[in-house]
Amino acid sequence: MNHPESLESAKHPRAGQVLSGAEIIVQVLADEGVEVIFGYSGGAILPTYDAIFVHNRDSAQPSMPLVVPANEQGAGFMAAGYARASGKVGVCVVTSGPGATNTVTPVRDCLADSVPIVVICGQVPTAAIGTDAFQEAPVTAIMGSVAKHVFLVTDPTLLEATVRTAFEIARTGRPGPVVIDVPKDVQNWKGPYQGQGALPIPGYRRRLALVDKSTLSDASAAEFYSLLSTAQRPLIYAGGGAINGEASVELTHFAQHLRIPVVTTLMGIGAFDTTEPLSMRMLGMHGAAFANYAVDDCDFLIVLGARFDDRVAGVPARFAPNARVIAHFEVDVSEINKVKKVGFHHIGPLRQTLSALLHYAKTSNFSVDWSAWHAHCAQLRSVHAFNYDRDSELIQPYYVIEEINKHAKGEAIIATGVGQHQMWAAQYFDFKGPRQWLTSGSMGTMGFGLPAAIGAQFAHPSRVVIDIDGDASIRMNLGELETVTTYDLPVKVVVLNNCGDGMVKQWQKLFFKGRLSASDKSLHKKDFVRAALADGYGFAKRLDKKADVPAVIKEFMEFKGPAFLEVMIDTDAGVYPMVGPGQSYEEMITGDHIVSRKTDHDVTPPDTAEMF
């Protein structure tokens, strides 16, 4: 039984104090351990911005720096970059109307990639909602289909509980974005701070509790190992769930103990050290040829926190065609048998599940000799390795990334935009741990890289953070170059300039007879280096000679402050391997420099309904 004094000692120091709604919002953010806020001000959110200012000036509690971007989309992606790099909930605070609608894309991006952020939007006063008031937008209607959850706070007495519950929903289960729409009069309302309490969401909490309590039984573990004991070519296919579930360590121990090779999805990069001998790197549309061939050859596929998405299992019936058994471990029951039928599955937290599997393997002395499979995988890695035209006089993007990788040594945090540069970065960088790879996966949002890198740098001030971007992708949030220098962040920005929308051009060359409709930007007048200099970069250079690559990259990587490097790359450089949409790994296009199993390299255009 609790004693009165213990209850008193647990009481929040501000409990009972009369605070404004805005002050309540800020105090809950502080209680939740928020370290930084990203956002842009405006009329409907001014009370909360003022409360943030006062908190940072007067409070004895840790400050929450307010980072102001060029626009609200940048703020949303900064919050996402912070969340992806730290594993914590990112926070974005914006005004009503266009402020809120500018965050729609980051919110959808976070939902698609299971990233926990909380977006707090100002709204017109309660009485004005629905009157087409100045800077009014129907946030709940707009965000309802792209967020994990949306709250419109019309009862100010529920504001505190609502903000606290938003964090709970964002970080638990399958993480995702939560939006809170707060009318201006609710921000100005005054009432007592409770210091505790949340909204009643019994159904959600009950579902989470069922999953959390779903431990892998000895009987299930025995069944799994009984199936695995008959395998000759087992393979682990790990997705973003292994990172979201903080299961990278357990995945590593599991794979190393059983000696099972690992492929990862784009979102799973870093879940398993890419420099490890068991790593087969990324599979999928632009995955390593050796990874995709390993999937074709395996006879037992262990799926960890992955969902057989269309960029991995383009033709589900022909994905892992030789796998007699597919075992799927997930936290989200809706993913089981959604795309691919599996022979064994378990729903539960991945970290605990892998620990249970490893414990059972050790206590039961499970051991199988898979040395022949290891030799086969080693041969795949050797024969079908990534490669490119190393003798070309033009600067090849792969070469640039290889040189940067020599300095990064698998320890840097890499953010990217979306396009060819994104895939080159995924293919040629090493990642020794999780949360080092930040990219827009499911949504494929151009303009993601630079603001995400900014968010990551705030999450890890002492880490090397590099944005690998394309000339088309960085244009979409180019204003954030100034944000980097405003806050004197040592973010390193690389623009691989191929004068256009490189990935679109590649598809047009392959499937549209080379008609470069709206994708060739060679006539654009943008001088990126001058733009960076205008924004205050101490290091801003253009690299256009192959012989200068090692020296310039060394100088770039060793520069201590904000650094910008534009590299004029071969405009015809492509992303290979490539598995066309609606096609199987057997039909993978490997280009001119990666060895294929096929002797016939004819490209079969996908059906028009399958494009992208």
Displacement of CA 81 from its chain's centroid (Å) = 8
pLDDT of residue 545: 98
Higher pLDDT, 386 or 607: 386
Confidence label for 602 from pLDDT (cuts 50, 70 and 90) = low
Higher pLDDT, 558 or 519: 558
Domain boundaries, the chain: 14-202, 214-383, 397-568
Tens of pLDDT, residue by residue over 306-347, are 999 999 998 999 999 999 999 999 998 999 999 999 999 999
Tens of pLDDT, residue by residue over 569-579, are 999 999 999 99
Catalytic residue among 503, 557, 578, 588: 503
**Mean pLDDT, rounded, for 106-113:** 98
User: In degrees, to the nearest 5, what angle opens at C-alpha 153 toward C-alphas 57 and 70?
Assistant: 50
Tell whether the model's pLDDT for residue 3 goes beyond 60. Answer: no
Please give the share of the chain, as a percent, with pLDDT higher than 70: 96
pLDDT of residue 25: 98
**Mean pLDDT, rounded, for 130-146:** 96
Please give the share of the chain, as a percent, with pLDDT higher than 90: 92
Rounded to whole angstroms, the Cα distance separating 453 from 202 reads 37
Whether 135 sits among the annotated catalytic residues: the reply is yes
Whether 160 sits among the annotated catalytic residues: the reply is no
Q: Are 201 and 336 in contact (CB under 8 A)?
A: no
Strands (E), 306-343: 325-330
Rounded to whole angstroms, the Cα distance separating 151 from 243 reads 28
Q: What is the 3-state secondary structure (H, E, C) of 31-60?
A: HCCCCCEEEECCHHHHHHHHHHHHHHHHCC
Give the pairing type, strands 190-192 and 18-20.
Answer: antiparallel
Question: 228 - beta bridge partners?
Answer: none
Closest CA to 43 of 105, 97, 118: 97
Closest CA to 87 of 271, 255, 273, 348: 271
Catalytic residue among 72, 136, 566, 587: 72
Strand order in the sheet with 300-304: 279-282, 262-264, 234-238, 300-304, 325-330, 344-347
Can you read off the two tokens belonging to residue 382?
């050797």
Q: 14-202: which CATH architecture? A: 3-Layer(aba) Sandwich (3.40)
Closest CA to 334 of 350, 345, 323: 345
Closest CA to 97 of 204, 181, 29: 181
Tens of pLDDT, residue by residue over 418-467, are 999 999 999 999 999 999 999 999 999 999 999 999 999 999 999 999 99
Whether 344 sits among the annotated catalytic residues: the reply is no
Catalytic residue among 88, 148, 184, 492: 184
**Mean pLDDT, rounded, for 209-233:** 96
Whether 521 sits among the annotated catalytic residues: the reply is no
Which amino acid, residue 145? S
Closest CA to 465 of 574, 562, 385: 562
Tens of pLDDT, residue by residue over 28-76, are 999 999 999 999 999 999 999 999 999 999 989 999 999 999 999 999 9
Question: 300 - beta bridge partners?
Answer: 234, 325
Question: 476 - beta bridge partners?
Answer: none
**Mean pLDDT, rounded, for 201-226:** 95
pLDDT of residue 72: 98
Q: What is the mean pLDDT of the chain?
A: 95
Q: Are 293 and 428 in contact (CB under 8 A)?
A: no
Confidence label for 509 from pLDDT (cuts 50, 70 and 90) = confident
Tell whether the model's pLDDT for residue 6 goes beyond 60. Answer: no
Tens of pLDDT, residue by residue over 263-289, are 999 999 999 999 999 999 999 999 999
Closest CA to 265 of 144, 468, 434: 434
Confidence label for 519 from pLDDT (cuts 50, 70 and 90) = confident
Same fold across 214-383 and 397-568: yes
Has domain 397-568 been given CATH number 3.40.980.10?
no
Burial class (CB in 10 A: 0-12, 13-18, 19+), 310: middle
Q: 214-383: which CATH architecture? A: 3-Layer(aba) Sandwich (3.40)
pLDDT of residue 535: 98
Closest CA to 575 of 310, 314, 398, 401: 398
Question: 238 - beta bridge partners?
Answer: 264, 304
Closest CA to 503 of 557, 461, 563, 446: 446
pLDDT of residue 59: 87
Give the pairing type, strands 66-67 and 37-40.
Answer: parallel
Catalytic residue among 53, 134, 409, 545: 134
> Would the CA dihedral through 362, 366, 371, 373 be positive or negative?
negative
Tell whether the model's pLDDT for residue 607 goes beyond 70. Answer: no
Closest CA to 449 of 11, 45, 35, 81: 81
pLDDT of residue 338: 95
Confidence label for 610 from pLDDT (cuts 50, 70 and 90) = low
Can you read off the two tokens belonging to residue 193?
């701070």
Phi, psi of 608 (to 5 degrees): -60, -30
